[in-house]
Amino acid sequence: MTDQSILREIQLAVLGMLREFDAVCKRNGIRYFAMCGTLLGAVRNQGFIPWDDDVDLAILREDFNKLKRLPREEWGEKLEFVTAADDDLRHDHIFPRVYLKNSRIQSYDDVENWIDPTTGKAWSTGLFLDLYIFERISDNDREYRRTLAMGAKTERVYKGCKLEANYQTAAGLRKGRRFYRYLYGKIARAIWKTPWRRLDRRLSARIEAAGKGEQIGCYYAPFGIYGGFDSYKLREEDIFPLGRLPFEDMMVPVPHHTDVCLAKDFGADYMVPPPENNRTHIDFVYADLADGRVLIVDPIPGSLGARTTEKQGQERA
């Protein structure tokens, strides 16, 4: 597990990103609000959950569309906004993210299981803020579940369509569904130049065609799948008007009824921390925080840390 002091440095770097993102949204009249572990951290810890390593934010479809229209210069020198339709190989999910420019992070899973197809070396990404798009969902339960299931399926295959899975080391890749996802990615990249764009278009078209009812939800994983189909069906009054709660040294927007959202996500006893063996986060091996700090946690073979250490040794020689 990543050392707590290193994890804290990563948290503070992400907090700086959140401040910048908050400023962008305020300047442009864009609403967003904390969800998942970030909302729980604001309520229970007034900041990051001690073992958490990222920020989870929700944004309504109309505000997401505003965000997409912002000119690049509006994001300033530090942030980059990336969606599933973009070719950026740092991005491996169907939901959008905001990345910290020039940052790089790498975990054990990244090194062992994923390859950057442009370099043939272990994949890495950047420090990020997760953005989940919420919108009015269909009142027809069958249509809602089918669209939600399509979102989950798209999420499962997206990464394999963009990156090369390491067939030699990926745990369990040779059997079951993981092998078929690996094979799907290989075939998709052979047929289409940018299969991730095709996946994004298909899912976006399905969501657009779905009925628009009274409740608000998210068709993008992990919402509604890992916690059950109804886990993120919210009423408008559960979200609006937005409140604000302390999060570290800033105030973040939060849903109006935080208890409803947290109970749906974590259960009624969400204020009780889980046992230590269930306190998970990304196990980093390397982190370049784009401010001069480079944290080589574990220079395992093939990692950015190992390559950096080797380069430094060559330079000293």
DSSP letter string, 270-315 = TTSPPPGGG-----EEEEE-SSS-EEES---TTSHHHHHHHHHHHH
Examine residue 189 and state whether it is found in any structural domain, yes or no.
no
pLDDT tens-place string over residues 56-99: 999 999 999 999 999 999 999 999 999 999 999 999 999 999 99
Query: Helices H, strands E: what count in the chain?
Result: 10, 14
Instruction: Check pLDDT > 60 for residue 172.
Output: no
Examine residue 178 and state whether it is found in any structural domain, yes or no.
no
Task: Identify whether the C-beta of residue 40 lies closer than 8 Å to the C-beta of residue 127.
Answer: no
Distances (CA, A) of 132 to 33, 94, 215, 276: 10, 9, 16, 28
pTM above 0.85, yes or no: yes
pLDDT tens-place string over residues 207-231: 999 999 999 999 986 654 454 556 6
Arithmetic mean of pLDDT, 284-304? 95
Examine residue 146 and state whether it is found in any structural domain, yes or no.
no
> Domain span at residue 244?
4-139+213-316
Examine residue 42 and state whether it is found in any structural domain, yes or no.
yes
Examine residue 228 and state whether it is found in any structural domain, yes or no.
yes
Comparing 182 with 84, the larger pLDDT belongs to 84
Arithmetic mean of pLDDT, 3-18? 92
Please state, for a pLDDT cut of 90, what percent of the chain lies above it: 75
Examine residue 166 and state whether it is found in any structural domain, yes or no.
no
Q: How many domains does the chain have?
A: 1
Arithmetic mean of pLDDT, 266-288? 88
Token couple for 292: 């001069």
Examine residue 171 and state whether it is found in any structural domain, yes or no.
no
Examine residue 32 and state whether it is found in any structural domain, yes or no.
yes
